[in-house]
Amino acid sequence: MITEKINKSDIDITKLPKHVAIIMDGNGRWAKKRGLPRHFGHQEGMNRVIDIVEATKDIGIKYLTLYAFSTENWKRPKVEIDALMNLLVLFIRRELQRLVTNGVKLNILGDWSVLPDLPQKEINRAIEATKDNSDMVLNIALNYGGRQEISRAVKLILEDHLRGNIDVDVIGEDTISQYLYTNGQPDPDLIIRPSGELRLSNFLTYQSAYSEFWFSDILWPDFDKTQLYRAIFDYQKRDRRFGGI
Ligand code: IPE
Ligand code: IPE
Ligand code: MG
């Protein structure tokens, strides 16, 4: 059992991960524990997001990815999906100004063209309002699935090939990276999953080949910056060999 508390000053700023990704899981269980409907958990989870964005930026990390809705989450009851979409709209309306003030550029991973009109409209507005920011990139994964992303990349590469824009001979690992939603970004160094589940759930399938993983039993609505500091502190003690010795 870990008892010592990690502070921001414990983090070695010379060994920061470039890209941190978080699977925001455990909202439903958080609500259930309190005898509340699931959407209360989602609401409380949404309330944590801006603080974690600001804490990440404050540490000096340049890329943060948050998994908000997977391609598999459409299996949930319509009322829950509607609640999640409404919270997305609410998040942008409430926090866009803070993203702008913090110099955060918003980017969406996933096919958000199939979301309801209102979330799409708000996302467009947020992307436009943050497009010139360069202090940090915030990726929100929405209707995102790692396998969908890879199959989409294959299609895009084939289309470019048929148009005569890309030769079969030059297609390599980097080519695939360039056709993913994260084109131009470093792969996640650290992937954090609260809630006690020990799986990726179709998150960053291609990009996570050499990521370090940090799991915790804490539920996302209880996740605060001390957990973020702890995850980064633990990450900095790992020996990343990338197949070397
Ligand atoms: C994560 O919390 C939020 C989304 C998947 C949108 P869950 O809703 O999965 O919470 P649990 O796993 O049921 O506790
Ligand atoms: C992963 O959580 C997706 C998000 C957090 C958005 P899930 O709760 O959907 O994952 P599973 O179903 O437990 O694998
Ligand atoms: Mg879950």
Query: For atom 9 of ligand 2, which residue has the closest CA?
Result: 73
Residue 241 lies in a domain: no
Catalytic residue among 51, 73, 133, 202: 73
The preferred substitution site among 195, 197, 216 for testing ligand 2, maximizing ligand atoms within 8 Å of CB, is 197
Helix axes 78-101, 38-59, angle to 10 degrees: 20
Please give the backbone phi and psi of residue 168, each rounded to the nearest 5 degrees, phi first. -55, -40
| Mean pLDDT within 68-76 | 98
Q: Is residue 1 part of a domain?
A: no
Q: Please give the pLDDT value at position 54.
A: 98
Does pLDDT of 181 surpass 80? yes
Domain that holds residue 166: 8-236
And the tokens for 199? 């799986």
Sheet with 19-23, side-by-side order of all strands: 104-109, 136-144, 63-70, 19-23, 190-193, 212-215
**3 occurs within a structural domain:** no
CA of 143 to the centre of ligand 3 (A): 15
The predicted model scores a pTM of: 0.98
Answer yes or no: is the C-beta of 29 below 6 A from any ligand 1 atom: yes
Whole-angstrom CA distances from 146 to 31, 50, 142, 185, 226 are 28, 25, 11, 16, 29
pLDDT of residue 4: 79
The minimum-distance atom of ligand 1 relative to the CA of 42 is 3
**Residues 219, 29: Cα–Cα separation, whole Å:** 8
Q: Is 84 in the pocket of ligand 1 (CB under 6 A)?
A: yes
Q: Into how many domains does the chain fold?
A: 1
For a mutational test of ligand 2's pocket, the pick from 22, 72, 115, 215, i.e. the residue with the most ligand atoms closer than 8 A to its C-beta, is: 72
Look at residue 99 and tell me if it is in a domain.
yes
Give residue 3's pLDDT.
Answer: 60
Spatial distance between the Cα atoms of 235 and 12, rounded to a whole number of angstroms? 11
What's the CA-to-centroid distance between 29 and ligand 3, angstroms?
A: 8
Q: What is the CA 178 to chain-centroid distance, rounded?
A: 18
Answer whether residue 113 is part of any domain: yes
151 domain-assigned: yes
pLDDT at 214: 98
**pLDDT tens string 7-55:** 999 999 999 999 999 999 999 999 999 999 999 999 999 999 999 999 9
**Which atom of ligand 2 lies at the shortest distance from residue 73's CA?**
9
pLDDT for 122-179, tens place per residue? 999 999 999 999 999 999 999 999 999 999 999 999 999 999 999 999 999 999 999 9
In a domain, 243, yes or no: no
Q: Find the CATH number of the domain harbouring 106.
A: 3.40.1180.10
Dist CA 223 CA 131 (whole Å): 28
Angle between helices 117-130 and 78-101 (to 10 degrees): 20
Q: Confirm whether 169 is a catalytic residue.
A: no
Contact 46, 31 (CB under 8 A): no
Q: Could you confirm whether 25 is annotated as catalytic?
A: yes
Local structure of residue 236 (DSSP, 8 states): H
Q: Is residue 123 part of a domain?
A: yes
| Active-site residue identified among 7, 10, 12, 25 | 25
Question: For 82-101, what is each residue's pLDDT tens digit?
Answer: 999 999 999 999 999 999 99
